[in-house]
A = this chain, B = another copy of it.
Amino acid sequence: MNRTILALTSLVAFGAAAQQTIGLNHDALFPRLERDSVFFSLNAPGARQVSVTGDFSGPMTLGADSLWHAAFPIAGPDLYIYNYNVDGMTVTDPANPYTVRDIAHLFSYFITPGTGYLAGNIPHGSLTREWYHSDKLGMDRRISVYLPAGYNENTDRRYPVFYLLHGMGGDETSWSELGRATYILDNMIASGNAEPMIVVMPNGNARQEAAPGETTEGLYATTMDRSVSPRDSFEGSFGEIIDFIDSNYRTVPDAAHRAVAGLSMGGGHTWRLQQLMPETFGYYGIFSGAVGWKGNPDLMKGDDPSLLPASPLPRLYYIAIGRDDFLYPLNKTFRESLTKAGIPYTYEESGGGHVWTNWRRYLTGFLPLLFK
């Protein structure tokens, strides 16, 4: 046995021993991308019926290689989520170590080339998970903070701040994980399409200290209703977040250098923050927004005149929604009432519904409009 083979054998033995409880047999089965298609393969030797679910939907067929196979066309560059349904049980892909949690559900995912959702070969910002104290909510609360590349080196420079809010069922990790916000920011700042900025991603659930698993409650089954934020409970405490950020980071603490945006419930928070503190932020983004959020969607009527923005009017009031979104009608009547009242806004309409595919896109569309 020559030396190279010996060394390799030892490493494999070392690897096997080093794991003791771990199996590694994934290389062959990882979902494969080829041109505009994705090829799924699953080793489920005892299964009778297997299908792909999530962003792709269809049956798999058992091949001569004893693996289950399915292929689907890919619509365009994106992060795609999927599960396998094996004889009625929905599972993540055993061959794919990359998963992401959406509320209580785990999905396997992959990212196609050309998205801007992966780390580029460019300068990288940092992401910090830390805690601030809220007197109003009576607890320490976890918050995620992105600092742009160069923040540590350019110690004389002060930066604008963008507050980015999640939806119902989300938490302070949603935008950095499912939303790929840190990658989007790194790439857009490096290409000059976004200003270098601090991005703050708080937990918008007024009754929750932190993401599931990160609190004294331990590991519990996450549900939507644990994360409902009754109207003004979170928004009313927002000044504490701004104070924390302005105290601990080199910010430019004025409205011209402060933006806020959110998706769904976070769009509702954004809408409401404009009314509650109209001189605090210059830029607002309402993505698939629960405009008129009162902790209950039944109470939201887009043509209610009390929903109109307060004075002074923002530099940017950006609204984006998908044509299939269940909040589309609400947003439509709200836009009509804005137009009727002569209040300018920027509007982006996409295909699709109330999904992360759209929220990543809206973030990408919103960032170049900030701090101009």
Interface residues of A (CB under 8 A from B): 6-8, 10-15, 17-24, 26-27, 30, 42-49, 54-55, 81, 86-92, 94-99, 101-106, 109-111, 113, 118-121, 123-131, 140, 142, 147, 149, 152, 167-169, 210, 212-216, 218-225, 228, 248, 264, 296-298, 326, 353-355
Contacts and interface: CB of A to CB of B under 8 A. Distances in A.
Contact of A21 (B44, B54, B99, B124): B54
B102 A106 contact: no
B106 A298 contact: no
Contacts of A14: 168, 224, 297
Contacts of A11: 224-225, 228, 296-297
Interface centre among A17, A47, A119 (most CB of B within 10 A): A119
Contacts of A130: 124-127, 147, 152
Contact of A152 (B98, B105, B125, B248): B248
Q: Which 8 A-B pairs have the closest CB atoms?
A: A46-B87, A126-B130, A15-B224, A45-B88, A128-B128, A91-B91, A17-B326, A124-B131
A94 B90 contact: yes
Nearest to A49: B46
Contacts of A42: 89
Interface SS, A side: loop
Contacts of A147: 130
Q: How many copies does the complex hold?
A: 2
Nearest to A356: B21
A321 to B, nearest CB: 13
A371 to B, nearest CB: 23
Contacts of A48: 46
15 contacts: A11-B225, A11-B296, A12-B225, A15-B169, A15-B224, A43-B88, A43-B89, A44-B86, A44-B87, A44-B88, A45-B87, A45-B88, A118-B218, A119-B215, A123-B140
B215 A7 contact: no
A189 to B, nearest CB: 14
Contacts of A13: 297
A93 to B, nearest CB: 9
B354 A119 contact: no
B102 A19 contact: yes
A254 to B, nearest CB: 22
B119 A20 contact: no
Contact of A354 (B17, B26, B47): B17
Given A13-B297, A30-B220, 6 more contacts: A8-B225, A18-B168, A90-B94, A110-B219, A118-B216, A152-B248
Contacts of A49: 46
Given A97-B106, A212-B97, A89 B45 contact: yes
